[in-house]
Structure 1
Amino acid sequence: MAERGAPTAGGDQSGGKTPKTARGRRSLRALLDAAAEEFGEKGFHEAAISRITARAGMAIGSFYTYFDSKEAIFTALVRDLSGQVRDFVTPRLAGVQGGIPMEQAGQAAFLAFVRQHKEIYRIIDESEFVDPASYREHYARTAERITARLEAAEARGEISPGAAPGAAEVRAWALMGINVFLGLRFGVWDDGISIEEVTRVSGDLVANGLAPKGERP
């Protein structure tokens, strides 16, 4: 995960109010962390700016130094969480050799992140209705990163060629779907099973499919 001292998502975090000082960046970080707690517990509609600032240990007037509204901080939070996932997973793939082991490592890293940030599911799910553009961007950018990894692995001969043009993108969305629901079941609902056990089973599925050995179509 990215350093907690600064926002992680790309672009303008606060509607033209991006802080220029270290103190301002710490304050913005505190607001985003507090918003994650508030939206994660209460949901968008029941969340309150006053409780966000209270959680952050800030005066309510300070909120408007960075955000114009509850909707604005929610949008910034979705982008920030998306950036945190990226920054948590990416370094854990460094040095992993082979396309399939890399996707297994990606699954494990995502599960580890979810277990630390279970609120991400409620926030991302609500963004489909509160801010559909950020919701779509979150998944599209994730799929782009997976697609790039698969294309590189295929070029190195580490995974099979796709069955049709554009196969890497289809595969990427399929793998992302697996990861999302593994995170929900074994990260949010129940984290009692070890990540290693989950990814061993899911990794075998990714590597070998469902067909009996020697009878793959």
Structure 2
Amino acid sequence: MTELSVLRPAKQRRMTREEKARDTYMRILEAAAQVVGEDGYADASVSKITRLAGVAQGTFYNYFESRQHIFDKLLPHMGQQMLDHIRTAVPAGLTGADREEARLRAFFDYLNRHPAFYRILYEAEIFAPKAHDEHFRVLVEGYRGALNRAVERGEIRGYDEQELEAVIYMLLSARAYLAMRYVHDGRGGTGPIPEHVVDAYVKLVTRGLFGS
């Protein structure tokens, strides 16, 4: 008879000190996102955040100087997370209006996955203005790069640099107000964006931006 060897589960690799620190930092940030999303900035206490993150309050201050400090980090963190989600979700080969449609769908998919983002964004203007300004700076610069590449490919014609900057704010405003009207339910939840909304958006950018 052939002796069967007993399969033993592989030992899980221990995290390095740097990995543990990064994991703790991210757990605190994610806990802050949930607390602010549910209770708002005004009622988001350090004790609520650390309780949800499963860390001591002393540990919190190893990573953040104050409650305001984590508020100032929160929106830029989630904004970058959103941009990474959109970048991953949009197929590389798409161009023009097709790419803009995919970006819109990916944006609303992110909102569905992270409903706290909506409240974090809009209350930040009052409670974390530096974070709010940084978030929009990153969004605008990212969009500027995308539209400039579309210009280089010949997909967009007839707009100078200043006009394209105005277009960026128009597109960002469209996302925000479409989310307010069609997706966000006012109670912290979201739903799929209706197809007629996507169709209207695509017609707008096709005829007004990417049209000849």
Class of the TM-score when normalised by the shorter of the 2 chains: 0.7 to 0.9
Contact 1:53 1:60 in 2 (8 A): yes
Note the C-alpha offset of 1:165.
Answer: 4.3
Note the C-alpha offset of 1:96.
Answer: 3.4
Contact 2:37 2:119 in 1 (8 A): yes
Q: Measured at CA, do residues 112 and 34 of structure 1 come closer, stay the same or move farther in structure 2, by a change above 3 Å? A: same
Contact 1:112 1:195 in 2 (8 A): no
SS at match of 2:184: helix
What is the CA deviation profile of residues 138-175 of structure 1, one whole-angstrom value per residue up to 9, with x for unaligned ones? 1121111112111211221112321x442221111111
List alignment gaps of at least 5 residues for structure 2. Answer: 1-15
CA distance, structure 1, for counterparts of residue 195 and residue 86 of structure 2:
16
Note the C-alpha offset of 1:208.
Answer: 2.0
Partner of 1:87: 84
Partner of 1:171: 167
Note the C-alpha offset of 1:196.
Answer: 4.6
Q: TM-score, normalised by structure 2?
A: 0.82
Contact 1:34 1:52 in 2 (8 A): yes
Q: Measured at CA, do residues 173 and 194 of structure 1 come closer, stay the same or move farther in structure 2, by a change above 3 Å? A: closer
Note the C-alpha offset of 1:120.
Answer: 1.0
| Structure 1, 181-190 or 118-127: larger mean CA deviation | 181-190
Matches within 5 A, 1:1-217: 21-162=18-159, 164-189=160-185, 191-194=190-193, 196-209=195-208
Note the C-alpha offset of 1:132.
Answer: 1.5
SS at match of 1:21: helix
Q: TM-score, normalised by structure 1?
A: 0.80
Partner of 2:12: none
Note the C-alpha offset of 1:85.
Answer: 0.9
Note the C-alpha offset of 1:199.
Answer: 1.9
For residue 199 of structure 2, what is the amino acid of its counterpart? R
For residue 71 of structure 2, what is the amino acid of its counterpart? F
Q: Measured at CA, do residues 192 and 49 of structure 1 come closer, stay the same or move farther in structure 2, by a change above 3 Å? A: closer
Structure 1 stretches of at least 4 aligned residues deviating more than 4 Å after TM superposition: 190-197
For residue 38 of structure 1, what is the amino acid of its counterpart? V
Contact 1:99 1:149 in 2 (8 A): no
CA distance, structure 1, for counterparts of residue 153 and residue 199 of structure 2:
24
Largest Rg, 1 or 2: 2
Q: Measured at CA, do residues 104 and 96 of structure 1 come closer, stay the same or move farther in structure 2, by a change above 3 Å? A: farther
List alignment gaps of at least 5 residues for structure 1. Answer: 1-18, 210-215
What fraction of aligned residue pairs are identical, expressed as a percent?
30
For residue 53 of structure 2, what is the amino acid of its counterpart? A
Contact 2:75 2:131 in 1 (8 A): yes
CA distance, structure 1, for counterparts of residue 86 and residue 52 of structure 2:
28
Contact 2:37 2:117 in 1 (8 A): yes
